[in-house]
Amino acid sequence: MEYGIETRCCHGVTEIVKEHSFGAVSVPIYQTATFAHRGIGESTGHDYTRVSNPTRDELEQTISSLEGALDTVACATGMAAISLVLELFDTGDHLICSEDLYGGSVRVFSAVGERRGLKFTYVNTADAALVEKNIGPDTKALYIETPSNPTMQITDIRAMKALADKYHLLLIVDNTFLSPYFQRPMELGAHIVLHSGTKFLAGHNDTLAGFVCTATEELKERIRYLYKTVGNCLSPFDSYLTLRGIKTLAVRMERQQENAMQIAEWLKKQDKIKQVYYIGLPDHPGYEVNKSQTDGFGSMISFTTDTEETARRILERVNLIVFAESLGGVESLITYPMLQTHSDVPVEVRERLGITECFLRLSVGIEKAEDLIADLRQALE
């Protein structure tokens, strides 16, 4: 029987539960580094936790089920997941990336990828013609975020898939902002899907995790080999915490989206707020494309204030909303991208994208929307 995504969030791959020791409903935490052999050449199916672990296996199979992936590996962080994918490429290989990209991704591409001889071009991937114009003989992959972090640009995944097929490229999609509950890029042709599992998947601001989902047998084998070789695996306890978070992914995402819509509409009416970036607003330039490839809008909002003073006053005066990095948890967080998440992006690029001293990013949680609005109102006054 094919279960809905809400059921799969709650129960995972349901037949696995029947295999839990003593009928445990929650996944047992196999907090062990190694596993005993029953004899020479015999294995229980697990030999060493760097390679595989029963707790992590269940998490990986759950993510594969949600994303529609052939396989998933769970990494220590989202950055570890991105670094693992970089190992697929060789000196001289070229990747075309969304110009509005998480600052940590830009940092690892520059500090690690370029030092290894990889080449990166950043373009507005919402413009398929511009992407195609930048494809060259050394181009090996398209790397996109949609919605992008933090200006919420939308890329047409189907258009990128068409280009990937035409030029024999890998299509890599960072799906952190919407999670598989709202967006499943593999259904649209992505070869690799990445997540910072720290965010919406785990959902409680209490653990770090990352995921690499693969769509083909060849990619599965390559990633699995690199995974055990590099050793950036997720621990059993963090695997448990992430699985526990995923159980409520559906209800959290729905509530957070509901709150975000109310807050975005309120922000648009404020004199001191000059622009609101939320993909659920019909006037967002990517609204129709996003609707065509997702089941929702998520809960990430960015906005621009009238002055730097207003932006700083909001950050210093919010009480309920927490001034902190990260996103996707049950608690609402507000971030100053130019100093926090995107400080490694060149100034001229940040300013061209609109990530200025007046630009703030809000991750909306599950609190009462009216309370969050009241907190923003008093911070603005």
Enumerate the domain spans of the chain: 5-246, 250-380
Residues 152, 148: Cα–Cα separation, whole Å: 5
pLDDT per residue, tens digit, the chain (381 aa), is: 789 999 999 988 767 777 888 989 999 999 999 999 989 988 989 999 999 999 999 999 999 999 999 999 999 999 999 999 999 999 999 999 999 999 899 999 999 999 999 999 999 999 999 999 999 999 999 999 999 999 999 999 999 999 999 999 999 999 999 999 999 999 999 999 999 999 999 999 999 999 999 999 999 999 999 999 999 999 999 999 999 999 999 999 999 999 999 999 999 999 999 999 999 999 999 999 999 999 999 999 999 999 999 999 999 999 999 999 999 999 999 999 988 777 777 788 788 888 999 999 999 999 999 999 999 999 999
CB atoms within 10 A of CB 353: 21
pLDDT at 352: 85
Catalytic residue among 93, 174, 238, 375: 174
The pLDDT value given to residue 360: 97
Residue 301, strand partner residues: 362
Q: Tell me the C-alpha to C-alpha distance, in Å, between residue 357 and each of 214, 327, 338.
A: 38, 20, 7
Q: Which of these CATH numbers, 3.30.360.10, 3.40.50.720, 3.40.190.150, 3.90.1150.10, describes 250-380?
A: 3.90.1150.10
Q: Which pLDDT value is given to residue 178? A: 98
The most distant pair of C-alpha atoms in the chain lies apart, rounded to whole Å, by 74
| 273 contacts 304 by C-beta, under 8 angstroms | yes
Q: 317 with 379: CB under 8 angstroms?
A: yes
Structure tokens belonging to residue 238: 């963090």
Strand locations in 115-269 (E):
119-123, 139-145, 170-174, 192-196, 210-214
**What are the φ/ψ torsions at residue 231 (nearest 5 degrees)?**
80, 35
In the residue annotation, 199 being an active-site residue is answered as: yes
- DSSP string of 273-325, one letter each residue: EEEEE-TTSTTSTTHHHHHHH-S---SEEEEEESSHHHHHHHHHH-SSSEE-S
**Beta strand segments in the chain, E:** 71-75, 94-98, 119-123, 139-145, 170-174, 192-196, 210-214, 273-277, 300-305, 322-323, 333-335, 359-363
214 phi and psi, to 5 degrees? -120, 150
The alpha carbon dihedral of 369, 263, 208, 55 has a sign of: positive
225 is a catalytic site residue? no
Work out the angle at residue 30's Cα, subtended by the Cα atoms of residues 25 and 31, and round it to the nearest 5 degrees. Answer: 135
pLDDT at 82 (0 to 100): 98
From the list 57, 71, 93, 102, the catalytic residue is: 102
- Residue 15's pLDDT is 72
Gap between the terminal Cα atoms of the chain? 55
| Residue 268 exposed, middle or buried by CB count within 10 Å (0-12, 13-18, 19+) | middle
Catalytic residue check, 220: no
- Quote the pLDDT of residue 269: 98
Q: How far apart are CA 33 and CA 49, in angstroms?
A: 5
DSSP string, 51-75: T--HHHHHHHHHHHHHHT-SEEEEE
Active site residue 228: no
pTM of the model: 0.96
Distances (CA, A) of 26 to 12, 19, 58: 10, 11, 11
> Domain 5-246, CATH 3.40.190.10 — does that match?
no
> What's the confidence (pLDDT) of residue 225?
97
User: In this structure, what DSSP letter does residue 48 have?
Assistant: B
Active-site residue, from 8, 56, 199, 361 = 199
**Angle between helical axes of 369-380 and 308-317 (0-180°, round to 10):** 130
